[in-house]
Amino acid sequence: MDTKTTLSFCNLLVKDNILIAEINEGVILNKELCDKIIYFSTVAFNTEPFVYITNRIHSYSVDPIIYEDVSKIENLVGFAVVSKTLSARNAEIESLFLNKPLEIFRDLNKAKKWAKKILKQ
């Protein structure tokens, strides 16, 4: 079953142990906002393994300090960035702060396939 949730700064979709986030245009994704996504993932998945996919259809900024908290999510088994713009280059830098498997994709369907593969391992 798909679960869709809208927060003030993003849309979240849960399907098959995958959390897909679409952050709104112009947002600065800081610790406070990240904590809201982390809380949502705790409620949605409890202790079940999941993969987070950020579908970067809008331009927004990420405070790299958030990856310290994201790395502590025990049941987060993978992190994917989907971007068709230069923000994919930013994701390469962000990956230096994340202690989880991270892949960058240009296509959401390819990211979902990767997520399903990671979840099977």
In CATH, the architecture of 3-120 is 2-Layer Sandwich (3.30)
User: Residues 6 or more apart from 1 whose CB is under 8 A from it?
Assistant: none
User: For residues 25 and 59, is the Cβ–Cβ distance under 8 A?
Assistant: yes
Q: What are phi and psi of 114, to 5 degrees?
A: -60, -45
Q: Which segments of 16-114 are extended strands (E)?
A: 18-23, 28-29, 50-55, 61-62, 76-82, 102-105
Other CB atoms within a 10 A radius of the CB of residue 58 amount to 13
Domain boundaries, the chain: 3-120
Which tens digits make up the pLDDT trace of 4-59? Answer: 999 999 999 999 999 999 999 999 999 999 999 999 999 999 999 999 999 999 99
The pLDDT of residue 94: 77
The pLDDT of residue 8: 97
